[in-house]
Amino acid sequence: MDRRHFLGGMATGAAALALWQFLPGEAEAAYPYALTDAQWKKKLSPWAYKVLRQEATEHPFTSPLNDEHRAGIFACAGCDQKLFSSRTKFDSGTGWPSFWAPLAGAVGTRRDFSIGYPRTEVHCARCGGHLGHVFDDGPKPTGKRYCMNGVAMAFIPA
Ligand SMILES: [Zn+2]
């Protein structure tokens, strides 16, 4: 890309500028809260970065949030978006913090075939950070089991 073309693109305004940030990387949706990869690396702990930005899964029974039973809110470790209330937390026995419902509008989902069969991936609606997966074997009233990585969240006591 030559200099004149580049400057012309810049001149078309904020929309073009926002798009520009996403052109070189993967075709990812533009989330309201966006950082560069270098900024994410600096902001997050190594494991939080692996989970939130690279869709890794923490080892079960390693997160202190698995045994967090106080009243409060579980927020995104990437952008502080409030994700789950302690009122929907339950002990799934899996070793990962589990919930039967997210807060309204807090998360997004998409199909994930990364391990060969379809799962439903769950991510933060504000920053796109990977949180975990949702399964259909949860308790009432929803029957859903949001199986979350504790390292992707921060607990805020009520
Ligand atoms: Zn987030």
- HEC string of the chain equals CCHHHHHHHHHCCHHHHHHHHHCCCCCCCCCCCCCCHHHHHHHCCHHHHHHHHHCCCCCCCCCHHHHCCCCEEEEECCCCCEEEEHHHEECCCCCCCEECCCCCCCEEEEEECCCCCCEEEEEECCCCCEEEEEECCCCCCCCCEEEECHHHEEEEEC
CATH of the domain at 74: 2.170.150.20
Q: What spacing in Å lies between the alpha carbon of 52 and ligand 1's midpoint?
A: 8
Using one digit for the tens of pLDDT, what is the confidence trace for 31-88?
999 999 999 999 999 999 999 999 999 999 999 999 999 999 999 999 999 999 999 9
Q: Is residue 19 part of a domain?
A: no
| 4 belongs to a structural domain | no
From the list 76, 124, 127, 147, the catalytic residue is 147
- Cα of 30 to ligand 1 centre, how many Å? 13
22 falls in which pLDDT band (50, 70, 90)? very low
Residue 23 confidence (pLDDT) above 50: no
In a domain, 32, yes or no: yes
Whether residue 73 lies inside any domain: the answer is yes
For residue 12, is it within any domain?
Answer: no
CA of 2 to the centre of ligand 1 (A): 36
Q: How many structural domains is the chain composed of? A: 1
C-alpha 7 to ligand 1 mean position (Å): 32
User: What is the span of the domain harbouring residue 58?
Assistant: 25-157
pLDDT, tens only, 84-139: 999 999 999 999 999 999 999 999 999 998 888 899 999 999 999 999 999 999 99
Known catalytic membership, residue 127: no
Does some domain include residue 144?
A: yes
Asked whether residue 9 is assigned to any structural domain, the reply reads: no
Look at residue 125 and tell me if it is in a domain: yes
